[in-house]
Amino acid sequence: MNFVAPDFMPVVPELFVLTMACLLLVIDVFLEQRQRYITYGVAQLTLLGAALLTLVTYAHAPVTTMFGHYIKDAMGDLLKIFIYLSSAAVFLYSRDYLRRRDLFKGEYYVLGLFGVLGMMIMVSAHSLLSVYLGLELLSLSLYALVAMDRDSPVASEAAMKYFVLGSLASGMLLYGISMIYGATGSVDLQVVSDAVARQGADNLVLVFGLVFLVVGLSFKLGAVPFHMWLPDVYQGAPTSVTLYIGSAPKLAAFALMMRVLVDGLGTLQGDWQQMLIILSVLSIALGNLVAIVQTNIKRMLAYSTISHVGFLLLGILAGSPEGYAAAMFYAIVYVLMAVGAFGMVIMLGRTGFEVENIDDFKGLNDRSPWLAFLMLVIMMSMAGVPFMAGFYAKWMVLQAVVNIGLVWLALFGVVFSVIGAFYYLRVVKCLYFDKPEQSEPIHISLDTEIAISANGLLLVALGLYPTALMTWCATALLN
Amino acid sequence: MQNIYLGIILAPLMGALIAGLFGRKIGRSGAHWITIIGVATAFLLSLIVLRHHVLSGAAPYNGSIYTWMIVEGIRLEVGFLVDNLTAIMMATVTFVSLMVHIYTIGYMHDDDGYQRFFSYIALFTFAMLMLVMSNNFLQLFFGWEAVGLVSYLLIGFWYKRESAIFANMKAFLVNRVGDFGFLLGIAAVLMAFNSLDYADVFAAAPLMASMTVQIIPGADWSLMTVTCILLFIGAMGKSAQVPLHVWLPDSMEGPTPISALIHAATMVTAGIFMVARMSPLFELSPTALSVVLVIGSITALFMGFLGIVQNDIKRVIAYSTLSQLGYMTVALGVSAYSAAIFHLMTHAFFKALLFLGAGSVIIAMHHEQDIRKMGGLWKYMPITWVTFLLGTLALIGTPGFAGFYSKDSIIEAVHASQIPGAGFAYFAVMLGVFVTSLYSFRLYFLVFHGKERMDHHTQEHLHETPAVVTVPLILLAIPSVVIGAMTIEPLLFGEVFKGVIMVTPEHNVLEHLAEHFHGAMNFALHGLTGLPFILVLAGFGSAWYLYMARPDVPERIRQLAAPVYDILDNKYYFDQFYQRFFARGSCETGTVLWKYVDAGLIDGLLVNGTARWVGWVAAVTRHLQSGYLYHYAFAMIIGLLILLTWFVTR
What is the per-residue burial (b if ≥16 Cβ within 10 Å, else e) of B266-292? bbbbbbbbbbbbbbbbbbbbbbbbbbb
Nearest CA in chain A to B633: A165
CB A311 within 8 A of CB A394: yes
* Strand spans (E) along B278-330: none
What are the residues facing B307 on neighbouring strands?
Answer: none
CB A76 within 8 A of CB A59: yes
Closest approach of chain A CAs to the CA of B645, in angstroms?
A: 10
Closest approach of chain B CAs to the CA of A195, in angstroms?
A: 20
Find chain A residues with C-beta within 8 A of B644's C-beta.
208, 211
Q: Which of residues 412-431 of B touch A (CB under 8 A)?
A: none
Q: H helices then E strands: how many in chain B?
A: 29, 4
Three-state DSSP state, A32? coil
Find chain A residues with C-beta within 8 A of B635's C-beta.
225-226, 228
pLDDT at B291: 92
Find chain B residues with C-beta within 8 A of A466's C-beta.
68-69
Q: Which of B68, B613, B626 to mutate to test the interface with A (most CBs of A within 10 A)?
A: B68
Which residue range forms the structural domain that includes residue A120? 9-478
Residue A3 lies in a domain: no
pLDDT at B650: 67
Contacts of B602 (CB under 8 A, 6+ apart): none
Query: Helix A466-478 crosses helix A321-347 at what angle (to 10 degrees)?
Result: 130
State how far the Cα of B325 lies from the Cα of B241, in Å rounded to an integer.
8
State how far the Cα of A450 lies from the Cα of A430, in Å rounded to an integer.
24
pLDDT at B390: 93
State how far the Cα of B311 lies from the Cα of B294, in Å rounded to an integer.
28
Find chain A residues with C-beta within 8 A of B622's C-beta.
290, 293
pLDDT at B522: 83
Residue A2 lies in a domain: no
Find chain A residues with C-beta within 8 A of B643's C-beta.
211, 214-215, 275, 278
User: Which amino acid is residue A92, in one-letter code?
Assistant: L
CA atoms within 13 A on the CB side of A4: 5
Distances (CA, A) of B340 to A440, B347, B403: 63, 10, 12
Interface predicted TM-score of the whole assembly (ipTM), two decimals: 0.84
Closest approach of chain B CAs to the CA of A159, in angstroms?
A: 11
What are the residues facing B82 on neighbouring strands?
Answer: B61
CB A44 within 8 A of CB A92: yes
Q: Do B640 and A219 touch (CB under 8 A)?
A: no
Q: Do A225 and B639 touch (CB under 8 A)?
A: yes
pLDDT at A409: 93
State how far the Cα of B378 lies from the Cα of B384, in Å rounded to an integer.
8
Q: Do B632 and A165 touch (CB under 8 A)?
A: yes
State how far the Cα of B53 lies from the Cα of B60, in Å rounded to an integer.
7
Distances (CA, A) of B206 to B131, B194, B200, B203: 25, 15, 11, 7
pLDDT at B321: 92
Q: Do B625 and A293 touch (CB under 8 A)?
A: no
Q: Which residues of chain B have pLDDT under 70?
A: 650
> Chain A contact for B644, CB < 8 A?
yes
Mean pLDDT by 10 residues, chain A (479 residues): 79 93 91 87 94 90 86 92 95 89 87 95 93 94 91 89 92 93 90 86 83 91 88 90 92 92 86 90 90 88 94 92 93 95 89 84 86 93 90 92 92 90 90 84 87 93 89 85
Tally the domains of chain A.
1
pLDDT at A479: 66
Q: Do A290 and B621 touch (CB under 8 A)?
A: yes
Of A168, A211, A225, the CB nearest to B647: A211
CB A363 within 8 A of CB A435: yes
Nearest by Cα to A424 from A365, A310, A341, A354: A341
Nearest CA in chain A to B627: A232
Q: Do B644 and A204 touch (CB under 8 A)?
A: no
Residue A4 lies in a domain: no
Of A168, A399, A464, the CB nearest to B636: A168
Nearest CA in chain A to B641: A211
Three-state DSSP state, A52? helix
Residue A395 lies in a domain: yes
Contacts of B155 (CB under 8 A, 6+ apart): B164, B167, B168, B171, B250, B251, B253, B254, B258
Q: Do A172 and B631 touch (CB under 8 A)?
A: no
Contacts of A221 (CB under 8 A, 6+ apart): A250, A253, A254, A257, A309, A312, A313
Residue A396 lies in a domain: yes
State how far the Cα of B239 lies from the Cα of B324, in Å rounded to an integer.
10
pLDDT at A453: 93
Find chain A residues with C-beta within 8 A of B638's C-beta.
225
Q: Do A293 and B627 touch (CB under 8 A)?
A: no
- Cis bond before residue A225 (omega within 30° of 0): yes
Contacts of B580 (CB under 8 A, 6+ apart): none
Q: Do B636 and A214 touch (CB under 8 A)?
A: no
CA atoms within 13 A on the CB side of B215: 9
Find chain A residues with C-beta within 8 A of B636's C-beta.
165, 168-169, 215, 219, 225-226, 228
DSSP code, position B30: H
User: Which amino acid is residue A335, in one-letter code?
Assistant: V
Closest approach of chain B CAs to the CA of A225, in angstroms?
A: 6
Closest approach of chain B CAs to the CA of A467, in angstroms?
A: 7
Give the model confidence (pLDDT) of A151-201 as tens digits.
Answer: 888 899 999 999 999 999 999 999 999 999 998 888 999 998 988 888 876
Residue A302 lies in a domain: yes
Closest approach of chain B CAs to the CA of A58, in angstroms?
A: 27
CB B45 within 8 A of CB B2: no
Of B69, B639, B646, the CB nearest to A392: B69
Closest approach of chain A CAs to the CA of B223, in angstroms?
A: 29
Give the model confidence (pLDDT) of A246-276 as tens digits.
Answer: 999 999 999 999 999 998 888 888 888 988 9
Q: Do A164 and B633 touch (CB under 8 A)?
A: yes
CB A53 within 8 A of CB A16: yes
> Chain A contact for B563, CB < 8 A?
no
DSSP code, position B60: P
Q: Do B69 and A271 touch (CB under 8 A)?
A: no
pLDDT at A24: 92
Query: Helix B629-648 crosses helix A204-221 at what angle (to 10 degrees)?
Result: 150
Distances (CA, A) of B162 to A62, A154, B8, B159, B165: 71, 59, 37, 7, 5
